[in-house]
Chains A and B, each alone.
Chain A
Amino acid sequence: MFVWGSFGAVALAIVVEITLLRLRTLRIRHQINDSRVDRQVNDR
């Protein structure tokens, strides 16, 4: 049980970290696309 608790915690932490990082990059992409749309609107 202690072994599973240890390895499981590490696996969980890795999943959480990668998910958070993924969300962060997705948010950035949205921001970039938004600014792009803004620019296109402005150009017109």
Chain B
Amino acid sequence: MNIYKYASPATFYPLAGRLIPWFAVLAAMLAAVGLYLGLYLAPPDFQQGEVYRIIFIHVPTAWMAMIIYLVMAAYGVMALSFNARLSSMMMEALAPTGAMFTVLALWTGALWGKPTWGAYWVWDARMTSTLILLFLYVGYIALTHAIEDKKRADKAGALLVIVGSVNVPIIYFSVKWWNTLHQGASVSVTSGSKMASMMALGMLVMALACWMYAIAVALARVRAIIIERELENGGAANWLNTLNTQDKRQLTR
């Protein structure tokens, strides 16, 4: 099978359509297992009580916030070096989801911080750099929306994200640089190895659920973007004919 075939939007469109249900179902199943592990099976922490359960959602969202940006940067490299339209579309499709996860990471972090540290917001390295990450997402979305020429918007956005991704390592670096309140590694909240393994498992499953969700949503959004652009170009009618009948029915139902 030739994977390069799927680099074209027209062939990728039906493939994405077939993949979405799988990722969506996986996301739902993993989320169910993860929530069962995190909210039911895992015992309360002897210091923090029930509140620590927030980390089962906080840590995965924070991971996703960072990883989605890196994935966007990788697509950006592809978009610029191979002039790949689909890569730019994937970036555009991922950005809102990444921004959403960043907001959620900040929100859940604040709700975890209030009972644990006594303040919703603390100017420590991680929270601050997550906030910067949100600014980076917003900057990308603002730039690509401000430029009317789609081709230029794609490339400008790709370059911006690549430059911005230099900031992501600084996030980790800054954690060491300012030695502040935030706990070193998130997993070290635990006490006792048995519970630690349970917590690690719960977080891992939740993180996988977030991954699957992000992929499903990004694929659904990239499908919308593909058609929107075709409609703008006025070539939608011809392009639609290249789809097989099932995809067409699904589209115009």
Contact = CB atoms under 8 A, between A and B. Distances in A.
Contacts of B112: 2, 6
A2 B61 contact: no
Nearest to A12: B104
Contact of A32 (B53, B100, B103, B252): B252
Contacts of A9: 104, 107-108, 111
Interface residues of B, number: 35
Interface in B51-82: 51, 53-54, 57-58, 61
Contact of B111 (A5, A18, A21, A25): A5
Given A21-B217, A21-B224, A24-B224, A2 B111 contact: yes
B57 A10 contact: yes
Contacts, number: 69
Contact of A3 (B50, B223, B251): B50
Contacts of B240: 32
Contacts of B61: 10
Given A3-B50, A5-B111, A28 B104 contact: no
Chain A interface mostly helix, strand, loop or mixed?
helix
B88 interface: no
Contacts of B224: 21, 24-25, 28
B104 A35 contact: no
Interface in A4-22: 5-7, 9-10, 13-14, 17-18, 21
A15 to B, nearest CB: 12
Contact of A35 (B53, B108, B231): B231
A29 B220 CA distance: 14
A6 B54 contact: yes
Contacts of A3: 39, 50-51, 53-54
Nearest 9 CB-CB pairs, A to B? A6-B108, A2-B111, A6-B54, A6-B111, A5-B111, A24-B224, A28-B227, A3-B53, A9-B107
25 contacts: A2-B54, A2-B112, A2-B115, A3-B51, A3-B53, A3-B54, A6-B57, A6-B107, A6-B108, A6-B111, A9-B104, A10-B104, A13-B103, A14-B213, A17-B97, A18-B217, A21-B217, A21-B220, A21-B224, A25-B223, A25-B224, A28-B231, A29-B251, A29-B253, A36-B237
Interface of B: 35, 39, 50-51, 53-54, 57-58, 61, 96-97, 100, 103-104, 107-108, 111-112, 114-115, 213, 217, 220-221, 223-224, 227-228, 231, 236-237, 240, 251-253
